[in-house]
Amino acid sequence: MSSIEINCLTSILRGMEMYIFIIILGIVADRATKLLSISKLKGNESVTVIKDFFSFEYVENKGAAFGILQGRQYILSIMSAIMILAIIYYLIKYKPSSKLLKTSLALVISGAIGNLIDRLYYNYVVDFISLHYKDIYYFPNFNVADMLVVVGTVLLSFYIIKDVK
């Protein structure tokens, strides 16, 4: 790399260190919990944490949220990659000043990358968190990457609502 390329890269990344850290931390937390889930839960009974409410149960999700688009890993992978690249492009081009906006997008990016890694490596997403009410209602299983995307989206919603006023 030439010094001009390094200076250009440095200017792009300046002020983004905390958000890059959030992305990396999110990916590491997601991967670690999924690998633990694979080693401890795959092929075994679920582990009850709170009876009739919360357990860990290994699931191979070959679709998207709530099991939609089953078996369409290529489409989901392409859509995820496009979304990740679009957010990164937005952050680099427009250099938003809002910490809330940058944090929300960093969380969404980390969660999207976490699930994209699964889709590319396993051809499914590892889900292992199960919330349910007795045997009456089971919320679809999810993982840390899903939580990162949801929290990031909620924060993004707060930013949009705050910005509109």
Task: Kindly list the catalytic residues.
Answer: 127, 146
Q: What are phi and psi of 49, to 5 degrees?
A: -100, -50
d(CA 51, CA 46): 11
Q: What are phi and psi of 104, to 5 degrees?
A: -60, -40
Do 42 and 85 contact (CB within 8 A), yes or no?
no
CA atoms 45, 141, 116, 159: torsion sign:
negative
The one-letter amino acid code at 27 reads I
